[in-house]
């Protein structure tokens, strides 16, 4: 079994595309001195635009940031807007019902980040049939909507496979463990299928072992999966762990550190989370690929629709590879 020609993970890295840091957070204006008696909050005007946002699961760092971006940027781009947010908490049936509630509420635009494509396609179609523009963020549904915004998950899967095969394994082959995200989500499907397809076409001597378990994009789940993997595979049996997001990469790192095997196995993630970027700088993660949550862009498109403008059916966001060669440029630039 091939052993990676390094002790600390980040000494090998490919040259990468030029990086464009994410847009900075909106800087709030200074608050005036508080009055003796706080005034009551004015209710939205009767004709105020209403943007609905159906969040799939608001409990992790990436999605909390996404929800905050929707609230903040819609308020900036759409004067007087009321933003109504629902959280499905990882439940497909609840998210479908949430969309129906937003339709009944009469939102002017629906922003939707579907838990899974199959389960939320009918809900998205019901909104469209009600005359409500639908913009999907991050994950897609299986039907044409007004616009889909997200990074190219197929490209991410391909880029991750190339980095693993050519940089971490040096073109010599080896074994990879995969921890997938939520099964049935479009991002999970693309990140898995394209990773596997690239290896089959370009590096057939790289083997995916362990059955590609799911960690559902959660750190604690990935920790459990990684511990199971470590029980099944001994020293020298595995070279790389490929996870579908940084939360799971950090869970894998935690398991590897506890087992004393982090020097032996490289970890690759996706998202560009600040904690993961720092882990790259610290030699604990080999690479991540930025994945913008599309909250800002969703609000830009909602504003355009409310202004009577036409928007493109797809908006593909940029992805950047972060590894040892450029990590210092990205410290603090994630989320």
Domain architecture of the chain: domains with CATH: 9-17+152-292+323-330 (3.40.50.2300), 50-138+294-316 (3.40.50.2300)
Q: Find residue 208's DSSP bridge partners.
A: 176
The percentage of residues in the chain with a pLDDT greater than 70, rounded to a whole number, is 86
Mean pLDDT across the stretch 273-289? 98
Other Cβ atoms less than 10 A from the Cβ of 47: the count is 6
- Which residues does 125 contact at the CB level (< 8 Å), separation at least 6? 143
Residue 124 has pLDDT above 70, yes or no: yes
For the entire predicted model, the pTM comes to 0.83
Residue 42 has pLDDT above 80, yes or no: no
Per-position DSSP letters for 158-175, written without gaps between them: HHHHHIIIIIISTTS-EE
CA distance readout (Å), 167 to 170, 171, 289, 320: 5, 7, 15, 16
- Residue 46 confidence (pLDDT): 61
Mean pLDDT across the stretch 143-171? 98
Residue 303 has pLDDT above 60, yes or no: yes
- Residue 47 confidence (pLDDT): 81
**Nearest Cα to 327, choosing from 279, 292, 257?**
279
Mean pLDDT across the stretch 280-287? 98
Mean pLDDT across the stretch 114-119? 97
DSSP state of 10: G
CA 288/CA 276 separation, integer angstroms: 7
At 250, which helix (H) or strand (E)?
helix 246-259
Cα angle value 208/269/315 (rounded, 5°): 110
Per residue in 127-144, pLDDT (tens digit) is 999 999 999 999 999 999
Residue 39 has pLDDT above 60, yes or no: no
Displacement of CA 31 from its chain's centroid (Å)? 33
Residue 33 has pLDDT above 80, yes or no: no
Per residue in 46-105, pLDDT (tens digit) is 689 999 999 999 998 999 999 999 999 999 999 999 999 999 999 999 999 999 999 999
Per residue in 213-267, pLDDT (tens digit) is 999 999 999 999 999 999 999 999 999 999 999 999 999 999 999 999 999 999 9
Say if residue 201 is exposed, middle or buried (CB neighbours under 10 Å; 0-12, 13-18, 19+): exposed
Using pLDDT thresholds of 50, 70 and 90, give the confidence band for residue 45. low
CA distance readout (Å), 43 to 80, 81, 105, 303: 10, 11, 16, 21
Using pLDDT thresholds of 50, 70 and 90, give the confidence band for residue 170. very high
Residue 3 has pLDDT above 60, yes or no: no
The percentage of residues in the chain with a pLDDT greater than 90, rounded to a whole number, is 85
Mean predicted lDDT score pLDDT of the chain: 89
CA 114/CA 98 separation, integer angstroms: 11
């Amino acid at each position: 079994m091939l052993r990676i020609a390094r002790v600390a993970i980040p000494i090998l890295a490919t040259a990468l595309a030029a990086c464009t840091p994410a847009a900075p957070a909106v800087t709030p204006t200074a608050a005036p001195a508080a009055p003796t008696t706080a005034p009551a909050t004015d209710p939205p005007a009767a004709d105020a635009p209403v943007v609905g946002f159906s969040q799939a699961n608001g409990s992790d760092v990436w999605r909390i940031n996404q929800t905050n971006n929707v609230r903040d940027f819609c308020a900036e781009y759409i004067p007087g807007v009321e933003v109504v947010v629902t959280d499905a908490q990882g439940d497909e049936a609840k998210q479908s019902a949430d969309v129906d509630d937003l339709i009944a509420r009469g939102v002017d635009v629906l922003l939707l980040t579907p838990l899974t494509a199959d389960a939320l396609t009918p809900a998205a179609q019901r909104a469209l049939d009600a005359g409500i523009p639908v913009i999907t963020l991050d994950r897609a549904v299986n039907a044409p909507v007004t616009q889909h915004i997200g990074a190219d998950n197929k490209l991410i899967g391909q880029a991750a496979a190339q980095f693993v095969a050519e940089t971490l394994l040096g073109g010599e082959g080896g074994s990879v463990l995969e921890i997938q995200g939520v099964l049935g989500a479009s991002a999970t499907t693309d990140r898995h299928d394209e990773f596997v397809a690239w290896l089959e076409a370009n590096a057939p001597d790289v083997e995916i072992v362990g059955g590609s378990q799911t960690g559902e994009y959660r750190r604690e789940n990935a920790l459990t999966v990684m511990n199971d993997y470590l029980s099944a595979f001994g020293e020298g049996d595995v070279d790389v762990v490929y996870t579908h997001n940084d939360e799971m990469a950090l869970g894998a790192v935690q398991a590897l550190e506890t087992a004393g095997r982090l020097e032996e196995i490289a970890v690759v993630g996706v998202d560009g989370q600040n904690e993961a970027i720092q882990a790259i700088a610290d030699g604990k993660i080999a690479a991540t690929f930025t994945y913008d949550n599309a909250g800002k862009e969703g609000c830009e498109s909602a504003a355009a629709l409310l202004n009577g403008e036409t928007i493109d059916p797809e908006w593909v966001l940029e992805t950047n590879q972060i590894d040892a060669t450029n990590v210092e440029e990205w410290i603090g630039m994630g989320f």
